[in-house]
Amino acid sequence: MSVNNLSTLRKYGSIGVDLDSKHIQFILNTGFDLSSFVKKALDDEMEYYNWSLDNKRVTKELVTTRDELRNTEYKISEAVENLSSLYIKSIELENDITEILYANSKEWREDINLWRSINEPVNRREEGQEFHHMHLNINGEVNKKIGIYIPKELHRSIHHNSSTGKGIKKINKAALLWLCEQTVI
């Protein structure tokens, strides 16, 4: 509908369209279709309102998802901590059981004391290390006293048997290489 009189313009002014006199004059002179203009403005306003609602909904969903992920990460780290503490407790329990089983064994105590008396380490013991007897052949005699403290993982990674000699050269080489890497000159 095209606007051609002042009463129609006042009608649009009453629904919230704020018009200056120069705008009124332009509309009257050009036959501008004010109703479609107002309808388009209201449609645009409604579209923005709907977009804003959608944006708020999406934002809320994103925040909810983020919070759920944080809770999941927290639960995972909590589970890892629980597993770690259970593992440590199982090792402590195993040590306690071993101690209980052998505490009254005279033979076992004698073996431990014998082992302590013949132990001649090349380096100092640190946590997580085991003593490896080198079984070095010195002047035709095997010396079982000399040994090196090496990491448990290294000591257990190479199968060796001092009685048969199987794997001794390989573990000795690995132990000496490890010791050389640790030694500061």
pTM flag (> 0.75): no
Is 15 within a domain?
no
Terminal CA-CA length for the chain? 98
Is 159 within a domain?
yes
Is 140 within a domain?
yes
Is 48 within a domain?
no
Q: Provide the number of structural domains found in the chain.
A: 1
Going by C-alpha positions, the residue among 142, 135, 140 that lies closest to residue 172 is 135
Per-residue pLDDT of 108-154, as tens digits, reads: 666 666 655 566 778 888 889 988 888 877 787 777 778 888 999 99
Using a pLDDT cut of 90, give the percent of the chain over it.
Answer: 8
Domain range for 157 = 109-182
Going by C-alpha positions, the residue among 139, 140, 137, 146 that lies closest to residue 165 is 137
Is 22 within a domain?
no
Is 117 within a domain?
yes
Is 67 within a domain?
no
Give the mean pLDDT of 14-34.
Answer: 64
